[in-house]
Amino acid sequence: MKVTEHLEKAKKTLISFEIIPPRRGGDIQSLLKLVDDLARYNPPFIDITSHAAEVIYEETPEGIKRKTKRKRPGTLGICALIQKKYNIDAVPHILCRGFTREETEDFLIDLQYLEIKNVLAVQGDDSGYKKPVPDGRTTNKYASDLVRQVKEMNEGHYLEDNLLDAKPSNFCIGVGGYPEKHFSAPNLDTDIYYLKKKIEAGAEYIVTQMFFDNRVYFDFVKRCRAEGIDVPIIPGLKIITRKSNITSLPRTFHIDLPVELSRQILDASADDVAEIGIEWTLKQARELMEHNVPSIHFYVMQNTTPINTLLDRLMP
């Protein structure tokens, strides 16, 4: 089922999750345990992140060498596992950076074979790796370009002329939104202007970047509606579990933490930080549910212990 169909049929706020594939060389058992833990909350869909190649620097006897490395492969296989074994709709992330339009089309065709009906189109992180583009091939520069490519496939237009038997795809397209603006945007109004371009290109719902002050989300929704964006806007939440998060999260995701939250964590012992984070996110979730948000999207990644505690309190 499409994400938008889940949202339309829901009689209350839904709960969804986002996870990342295991590291290269890992095994499937940890992933199965992760999904087992999440499946008991009956999520209608689970997002699976994708990763393009990245540049790393390794110190060797010959000096520091620059290498290109792929980490966390397996998005396609994990989507198939979640959808076929658990009967939960999978939402793979598709990226602009690191992939040509031809590679993107191949990935989308594979998703069609697996009867996966949802994708989240994102620009992707700039890892510093500039993949050579073969002659005659192009890349999608912006998320709106990527949305447009998926939309064209939904209309039966493929890059390969010889796909005469290919039927139009039927993907539901989601995109990311940034309540505190994307780091590359000069201001929030401009960021929302470009978000609207993604909707006009064919996106059908928005999942926000994590935030820790619900007022930021409510103001973002208000601004989007004023700009004419009328698709569902799903809030994204993350539980802080360690002291280092109060510096790493703002640095990595370009977000602000409320003063009250950061002071609580700074004054707490390391053992108490997870409980503070759980209670803070629990209050956010309860308030969002009181405002009848369409779904709450939890950024779980690979550790389910905090989210289990939170949801057991939220959904006793």
In this predicted structure, the answer to whether residue 254 has a pLDDT above a threshold of 80 is: yes
The pLDDT score that the predictor gives to residue 182 is 87
Domain locations in the chain as residue ranges? 3-314
In this predicted structure, the answer to whether residue 62 has a pLDDT above a threshold of 60 is: no
The pLDDT score that the predictor gives to residue 298 is 97
Is the Cα torsion angle 248, 253, 256, 261 positive or negative in sign?
negative
- When pLDDT is averaged across residues 58-66 and rounded to a whole number, the result is 50
Identify which has the larger pLDDT, 224 or 58.
224
Q: What percent of the chain has pLDDT over 90?
A: 68
Amino acid at the residue 32:
L
Q: What's the CATH architecture for 3-314?
A: Alpha-Beta Barrel (3.20)
C-alpha count within 13 angstroms, C-beta hemisphere, residue 214: 14
In this structure, of 8-12, 44-48, 120-124, the range with the lowest mean pLDDT score is 120-124
C-alpha count within 13 angstroms, C-beta hemisphere, residue 48: 25
